[in-house]
Amino acid sequence: MAFSSSSISPCCSSKFSSNSYLPETYLKAKVKKIDAFNSNTHTFPLLQSINSKWERGELFQFRIRAAVTTEEYLLDGSTENNQLLKGDSWSVHKFGGTCVGNSERIRNVADVIIQDQSEGKLVVVSAMSKVTDMMYDLIHKAQSRDESYLTALDAVLEKHKLTAMDLLDGDELASFLSRIHHDINNLKAMLRAIYIAGHATESFTDFVAGHGELWSAQLLASVVRMSGVESKWMDTREVLVVNPMGSNQVDPDYLKSGERLEKWYSKNPSMTIIATGFIASTPQDIPTTLKRDGSDFSAAIMGALFKARQVTIWTDVDGVYSADPRKVSEAVILERLSYQEAWEMSYFGANVLHPRTIVPVMQYDIPIIIKNIFNLAAPGTRICRSTDNEFVDGQISESPVKGFATIDKLALVNVEGTGMTGVPGTASDIFGVVKSVGANVIMISQASSEHSICFAVPEKEVKAVADALESRFGQALSSGRLSQISVIPGCSILAAVGQRMASSSGVSATFFSALAKANINIRAIAQGCSEYNVTVVVKQEDCVRALRAVHSRFYLTRTAIAVGIVGPGLIGGTLLDQLKDQSAVLKEKFNIDLRVMGIIGKNSMLLSDSGIDLSKWKELQNQDGEMADLNKFVQHVSENYFIPNSVIVDCTADSHIASHYYDWLHRGIHVVTPNKKANSGPLDRYLKLRDLQRQSYTHYFYEATVGAGLPIISTLRGLLETGDKILRIEGIFSGTLSYIFNNFMGTKAFSQVVKEAKEAGYTEPDPRDDLSGTDVARKVIILARESGLNLELSDIPVQSLVPEPLRATASAEDFLLDLPKFDHELSKQRQEAEDEEEVLRYVGVVDVVNGKGAVELRRYNKDHPFAQLSGSDNIIAFTTERYCKQPLIVRGPGAGAEVTAGGIFSDILRLASYLGAPS
């Protein structure tokens, strides 16, 4: 037996074993004797003596339920034939302190238990929210000789009394109140002894701290019984046996715990058991706790002892997130984790489970479900053994990286020197020193050259580690065998975790490229051969940025694009409307996530960290807009870090904006634009821009520079890339001039048609910008350069339709008033063409064979495709070696905000499809 027969008192009967108190009379007698000393020189040895006898099991009547051993069950004569049938009929639930924080929540927990259809239910509960902290505070006050511990103890009593009175009535209420009053009286005596001694031993502390679980288990069991379901409550100190280990750890004794469980159940048969979490007993029947995350650990141990179907951990979140949602707003709930993945993530600081919680259930393949007590509809996260099925319906079922976790407040210690190379035992000596000061090594990295070893430890421990290493290796440092022992403070660890990382190529490359894009400097790297995780050390100040960058790369998909709109005028505003209408469809059906992160005009800009609400961007710009700053705008769009790709969409015709394209592309920012100024500007700048594009993975799309929404640039590129040779490109490139000459017929004067075109919105505010032919010349030079001709804009002869005397006219209004004076010449040309069954058309020509281009007014037979146009349509004819007899013709609307914005939108979608491929 655990105790000699002389030490067994009547209070060790079965009646006493159903309660959790210390005999009050004994404690009071001891306290009186302690008071008689009235001197610290005597009180502390006496308390040590009490504790020593407690630990040897020699205290007369100083017993708790956990001290009822197997032999005592036999002495009791209680050998009821109630065999515990273990297996899938049992489910285990664990409810944390938040779940049982008040009477309403305890009722909710009772409802969950009652609604569980399992045949057997074992429920593990923590103390009510904040109660464990209150119990430790009692001990702290008592050993500090702060008499307010009595007031604090009264507060603990009052909290539980009020909760009980709200939940219970009748015999259940009376029974609970009797128990808690008895417990409180015993605790007063215990705390009085601690107060006098000024010290609390670990076993006394554990005994006091565990009362919160006793009371919450009793409360919940009573509520369940009052709902009509028979239930028993279990003081797990009677069942769970653990061996205290170093470093604030305990190891469960499954064999002895299993034996005690069988004995307990034979005396307390029930298919609904409410058990205390956190607390257990040592092999000497001394109360102890399961230390950090003890309630989760209790549930896992119970799951293993019952061989349960599953263990459900109820908490206040919907499941395990892919990253800390407080740091990464885009974090998602993970549907499933393997034991190993959960283990790795929890080790690296993720709010999942303590690693030791997973160990008990692994051997029986018992899944752990993380669920939200406040959102029962959420499916939660299932932690179970991984399967080999990587494919579902022919597709990869899950990402190779499940989640990301961080640990802050670390320091790197680097030991290096040529004397380490090839010397056996150096690493052992280093880490032996670290162990001697009790420091925890979080990560180790060593180069294959053995020239250096670096490792991460908590920042609060690094000074002791560094001092100990310098003391141990002082001679090696002075002789030069070791060159230095250096410390890098202010570090954080970032870990990517996933079981399928080992079988998926390119994971590390993607991980590190995301960090590179975010401009994160990596201090150290570690990866085990199992490849369950890749770990890097970064500056603590960069940690959140790094976390967002890598998370977005794996979870926001490669086609998540941060968009910055320059110029929210007619075309830019129309593009924003199109993005608003289509973005949800693109995300849902095509996995393309377009986020407009910024909009900038001439005077103001609107920035967002997560994406602008395009349904009210104008209102937001008026409310939250700030002074326009192009550099700040570009930096915001491109350095958001949680979206892996960024694009600047220039919807202006501004040459100053176009001058920034090279810098943006060089910084890895994609560019989409209808602005012709860059590609028709100085030749050397254009060639430099195209060379950069071809040599990088950054894309530059400008389809809308020539034909608005028509596929002119892409058609030309397709012909060249497939080996065709361009001979001639000829076309009507201006929607404005197409409209004017399609309507310049009969008796209409040219000036009248121009006026109608302006009133219809086809021309620029000043029609001379269209009639001068400069816009067409820019399109011609763009096509010429795409065809391989190195021409400057000045090399293109342009026939202007603006009469010479009117080119310097002050205003557009004056120009339109004076234009009728010059109608005669164009009317004459129109009549001559009609006499020959021809029409006038304003065209641009690229003569690739002769290496030149032109913009001019030409006559075409009425059967020619150029004569068949209507409205503002554009038409382009490609004459090539393949299309020599019959030119390849592209025709369609070539002007208007809708089609131009549509062409830009098409380029953005083309960018999404090209991401990751060289230009």
* 244: confidence class by pLDDT, cuts 50, 70, 90: confident
* 110: confidence class by pLDDT, cuts 50, 70, 90: very high
Whether the pLDDT of residue 880 is over 70: the answer is: yes
Residue 348 has what pLDDT? 73
Burial class from Cβ neighbours inside 10 Å (0-12, 13-18, 19+) for residue 388 reads exposed
- Once rounded to an integer, what is the mean pLDDT over residues 253-271? 95
Q: How many other CB atoms are found less than 10 A from the CB of residue 514?
A: 21
Residue 584 has what pLDDT? 87
* 421: confidence class by pLDDT, cuts 50, 70, 90: low
Strands 90-95 and 311-315 come out as parallel
* 650: confidence class by pLDDT, cuts 50, 70, 90: very high
Cα angle value 834/838/842 (rounded, 5°) = 110
Percent of the chain with pLDDT over 90: 63
- Once rounded to an integer, what is the mean pLDDT over residues 649-672? 94
Whether the pLDDT of residue 751 is over 90: the answer is: yes
- Greatest mean pLDDT among 204-208, 294-298, 325-329, 349-353: 204-208
What is the distance between the alpha carbons of residues 329 and 325, in angstroms, rounded to a whole number?
5
Residue 679 has what pLDDT? 96
* 557: confidence class by pLDDT, cuts 50, 70, 90: low
For residue range 690-722, list pLDDT tens digits in order. 999 888 878 999 999 998 889 999 999 999 999
Residue 645 has what pLDDT? 85
Told to judge if 828 belongs to the known catalytic residues of this protein, a careful annotator would answer: no
Q: What's the token pair of residue 705?
A: 């520079």
For residue range 499-555, list pLDDT tens digits in order. 877 667 778 888 888 888 777 899 999 886 556 888 999 999 999 888 988 888 888
The full 3-state SS of 381-425, as one line of letters, equals EEEECCCCCCEECCEECCCCCCEEEEEEEEEEEEEECHHHCCCCC
Residue 163 has what pLDDT? 97
For residue range 783-819, list pLDDT tens digits in order. 999 999 999 999 999 999 999 999 888 788 999 999 9
For residue range 356-389, list pLDDT tens digits in order. 888 899 989 999 999 999 999 999 999 998 765 4
What is the distance between the alpha carbons of residues 36 and 853, in angstroms, rounded to a whole number?
114
Residue 5 has what pLDDT? 31
Residue 4 has what pLDDT? 31
Residue 871 has what pLDDT? 87
Q: 454 forms bridges with which residues in the sheet?
A: 414, 445
Residue 3 has what pLDDT? 33
More confident residue, 748 or 42: 748
CB 373 within 8 A of CB 109: yes
Residue 559 has what pLDDT? 73
Whether the pLDDT of residue 840 is over 90: the answer is: yes
Taking the model in full, what pTM does it have?
0.69
Residue 422 has what pLDDT? 65
Active-site pick, 256, 779, 852, 862: 779
- Once rounded to an integer, what is the mean pLDDT over residues 94-111? 95
What structural domains does the chain harbor? 90-315 (3.40.1160.10), 401-555 (3.30.2130.10), 559-707+907-915 (3.40.50.720), 712-895 (3.30.360.10)
Burial class from Cβ neighbours inside 10 Å (0-12, 13-18, 19+) for residue 801 reads buried
Our measurement of the distance from residue 165's CA atom to the centroid of its chain's CA atoms, rounded to an integer in Å, reads 44
More confident residue, 501 or 157: 157
Of 301-315, 324-338, 440-454, 848-862, the range with the lowest mean pLDDT is: 440-454
For residue range 23-73, list pLDDT tens digits in order. 444 344 444 433 443 333 333 444 444 455 444 444 433 333 333 333 333
Nearest to 150 by CA among 190, 182, 178, 177: 190
What is the distance between the alpha carbons of residues 489 and 458, in angstroms, rounded to a whole number?
9
On average, the pLDDT of the chain sits at 86
